[in-house]
Amino acid sequence: MAVSNGSNETSYLLPPHEEDWEEQGIPDFVYGQKELVWDGIQWSRDAPSLPDTLPLSPFDSALCSAWRQRMELGLFRYCLGELQTQTLPGSIGFVAQLNVERGVQRRPPQNIKSVRQPFDPEQFNFNKIRPGEVLFRLRREPDLPGVLEQEDILVMVNVSPLEWGHVLLVPEPVRGLPQRLLPGALRAGLEAVLLSSHPGFRVGFNSLGGLASVNHLHLHGYYLAHRLPVEGAPSEPLDPGGHLHLLQAVPAPGFLFYTSGPGSDLEALVSRVCRATDYLTDREIAHNLFVTRGASPGKSSPSSALTGVRVILWPRKSSFGIKEGEAFNVALCELAGHLPVKTSQDFSSLTEAAALALIQDCLLPPAQAEEVRAALVALIAQEEQ
């Protein structure tokens, strides 16, 4: 149900008293074709800004106002202020941020031993959160093509935020889906990026073994007011149709998928990416995925227009649990060039070479990486026949 705030707009804010939260119900954020912003998104020449200081789309306004209120109500594990940020000297352009509280206070990861581990209702899952942690339900209007079955996506706060507006996109949590990427979840992530008018709103997915800490299907979304290397890095086409590229000159080579238009083009991208992640999951290969606005393949200038959406997929070594004593743990944002650092000492001493060494230690051995590359190219070729 949508909750009226006394005007013609929908309120995504909670009543002041916790006992009234469940009675309010979950508001719906309903969107259609006209809310998806494909053109005109670019970085300002001015200093980067938090999303609530820029012109906002309706999606940004709903997310930011509700997220800020939850922070003020104390629903997070810590109060996130403006994070100390630096761009590491070097050719990559790593964006490092000091986030001591997340390193100390985040929920310990579950005991996960397999990329294909089944959902366990006895473990923590998103059916056990407080009602106030849910911001709204993301719902598509029938005018969006390509999908016959409507899937509800709950947008909820991540109580241990990486950055401003850090949320989780959780498809129908009562279904108890394990952390395996499904088309409906990926489509919701792509469309969430397109609903935002902020160039730094990104979405990502960590598989089990790829540092997902909860085995319950979810994606991450958050704002980062800085450009990242993966937005405009050059790429090499891997198939004649130009549907799969190998991203180059970034922290780690990844498989690049790209779309610049709605409808069948976006649906084809969803299908290709999920076929690739299914292949990896079925073979116990952990992976991370990152969705960002970016330049079309072949465009490598940092100032290139953000003409579409890039989806980058990284197969990687499995890593279960959090490694203590390292400056950062390697998951979706680190592979994209955003480094949340745990301690002041590491933040002040971190170099590009040290960051690259940590990231490259998590990549597949060359022979296995080449095997995966050949398999994904073959999958794309089958689709094109």
Decide if 64 contacts 326 (C-beta within 8 A): no
Rounded CA-CA distance 37/265 in Å is 15
Q: How far is CA 4 from CA 41, 120, 246, 247, in A?
A: 30, 37, 47, 46
Give backbone dihedrals phi and psi of 303, rounded to 5 degrees, phi first. Answer: -95, 5
Give backbone dihedrals phi and psi of 19, rounded to 5 degrees, phi first. Answer: -65, -15
Say how many C-beta atoms besides its own lie within 10 A of residue 107's C-beta.
Answer: 11
Say whether 218 is catalytic: yes
Name the β-bridge partners of 154.
137, 170
Decide if 163 contacts 84 (C-beta within 8 A): no
Element (H, E) at 369: helix 366-384
Rounded CA-CA distance 196/198 in Å is 5
Decide if 155 contacts 142 (C-beta within 8 A): no
Decide if 296 contacts 308 (C-beta within 8 A): yes
Decide if 215 contacts 178 (C-beta within 8 A): yes
Rounded CA-CA distance 38/198 in Å is 12
Residue type, 21: W
Residues in the chain: 385
Catalytic residue chosen out of the listed positions 218, 220, 245, 338:
218
Say how many C-beta atoms besides its own lie within 10 A of residue 303's C-beta.
Answer: 11
The two three-digit tokens of residue 241, written as one number: 């149709």
Active site residue ranges? 218
